[in-house]
A and B are shown apart, each in its own frame.
Chain A
Amino acid sequence: MDLRNALLRVAARRPHVLIIGGIGTDRLRARVEHEVDRRHWTNAMAPADTDVLVVIGHPGPELRAVVDDVWATVPAPRARLDVRNEHEVTTALDDAVTVLQDLPAQRAGAPRDGLRWDRPSDPSGAHDHHDAHDDDTSHEQDTGHEDHDGGHHHGGDMELPGGLAMADLGEDRDGLALDQLHVPLGPVLPEWPSGLVVDVVLQGDVIHEARSRFVDLDDLDATERLPDAARALDSAARVLALACWEGPSARARGLRDALLFGGSSTARVLEELDDLRRRVRRSRLLRWMLRSGEAGRSELLEALDDKLLSARAAAAGGGGEAPVAIDLAALDARLVGAEFAAARLIVAVADPLPQPARTRPTEQEGAS
């Protein structure tokens, strides 16, 4: 037991952090990321690799349900924090380490069964369902789940594990009958716009249909937006990270943080920004990777360059042009037919802004 305690102490000192926030939490997210980087901690890619789950801002009902569902899949040792404003970040992360190092609490609070949104009609899973609830007493569980349970695939004649159906056939773009998977992508993915969900139909790794929406759009009035320069840099950092060019991505993020939280002079930021832009423009490999069509012209690369350029203009005080809000319907259209990696880049480049709900059809849940 002592040995385990000691090991846990060492292991917990540099945890992997997963940040979840709804629309309008970009500044807070940047703050947490900045603090995580400063401590040489790691940003987790998925719940399986997560030690610390940081919930930022005030998530609405739908996102709260998502957070609970994600939390149910995070393996122990684990810590969950709510960070509501920037002053809490440092102490919250400090506390996380303490929570992670507390062996008795970790043992008691470890999740046992991940089937949290189990159908009540499923007798085998009902018991486990309650177990999961007992383990996790800090939040109301029942608020959000009805939102997901409306799916039409559940409760069919044949009960498969987890109450999930098997993939069904559908025609692909060439008219072949192929298995289709209905997958809601987001809102908890690396380098993903806050609060965005894209319900996709996948055939293999190619997107057949896409329908994007924002969770908890009703809270839109509470949205605070990043300054233009920081927003452009944040978006550029995501594109670079998805191209797995980690160094420049981290530099773009560092520049964003410098603009948001100070730390270096504007002149220095501009100089580094120019340097970054030069590197991005010069990389032939990046051009080759981001090239979309035959022509050798790359819309993605041009968009990336535009982002860096507008960031520079805004940072230099020129105001720059306001970011063009991309229509979600236009985003959907672009995603259809894209391979998964390309689709991720398209979403990152588009970086859609939350739009008032009335511009979109409201039957979101049934979209599939």
Chain B
Amino acid sequence: MDELTPALVLLAIGVLLVAGVRALARILSVAPPLTNVMPHAGGLPPLEHPVSRFHVRWYVVTMVFLAFDMEMIFMYPWTLVVAQMGPAAVVEMFGFLALLMAGVLYAWREGALRWT
């Protein structure tokens, strides 16, 4: 916990800084906020609210990413013990990575990494 104290202090400072700048702007700005601004897409009024279910064509990439991301969670602690565990730990980790890479290459060959 002691370790984290400076980080928490800095978090407080960061929050205060942002709040302070915003408060300062409240005092200094020439006018109160402009409300109900139409979104800009070229000057003509939009027909619908832009918040919509955005079609994410790269969803396959998120799956690939997720697989690697889980792997990372193992790899961070692995860095600490690999020297003691010896070659076995290296083979296991990089074997695992090779499997994942094979998956990526397959996805690539199938065109999953291209979406336009």
Contact = CB atoms under 8 A, between A and B. Distances in A.
Interface of A: 3-4, 7-8, 20, 46-48, 66-67, 69-70, 72-73, 75-77, 103, 106-107, 110-117, 125, 128, 148, 151, 153, 160-162, 164-168, 172, 178-189, 192, 197, 203-206, 337-339, 342, 368
A185 B42 CA distance: 5
B107 to A, nearest CB: 17
Given A4-B28, A4-B30, A342-B116, A73 B37 contact: yes
B49 A164 contact: yes
A113 B42 contact: no
A8 B36 CA distance: 25
Interface of B: 28, 30-32, 34-38, 40-50, 52-57, 115-116
B56 A204 contact: yes
B113 to A, nearest CB: 14
A162 B42 contact: no
Contact of A75 (B34, B49, B115): B34
A11 to B, nearest CB: 10
Contacts of B116: 206, 337-339, 342
Nearest to B27: A4
Q: What does DSSP make chain A's interface, helix, strand, loop or mixed?
A: mixed
Contact of A110 (B28, B31, B50, B52): B31
Nearest to A152: B47
Contact of B30 (A20, A66, A110, A167): A110
Contacts of B52: 166-167, 179-181
Contact of A167 (B44, B45, B53): B53
B37 A186 contact: no
Contacts of A8: 30
B45 A111 contact: no
A192 B42 contact: yes
Contacts of A69: 38, 43-45
Contacts of B46: 164, 181-184
B47 A48 contact: no
A50 to B, nearest CB: 10
A189 B50 contact: no
A117 B30 contact: no
Nearest to A185: B42
A223 to B, nearest CB: 20
B42 A184 contact: yes
19 contacts: A66-B44, A69-B45, A72-B37, A73-B34, A75-B34, A103-B30, A114-B37, A117-B38, A162-B36, A167-B49, A167-B53, A179-B55, A181-B50, A182-B46, A183-B46, A183-B47, A192-B42, A197-B44, A206-B116
Given A75-B34, A162-B36, A182-B48, A197 B56 contact: no
Contact of A113 (B34, B41, B53, B55): B34
Contact of B48 (A4, A164, A189, A339): A164
Contacts of A181: 46, 48, 50, 52
Given A103-B30, A167-B52, A182 B47 contact: yes
A66 B32 CA distance: 24
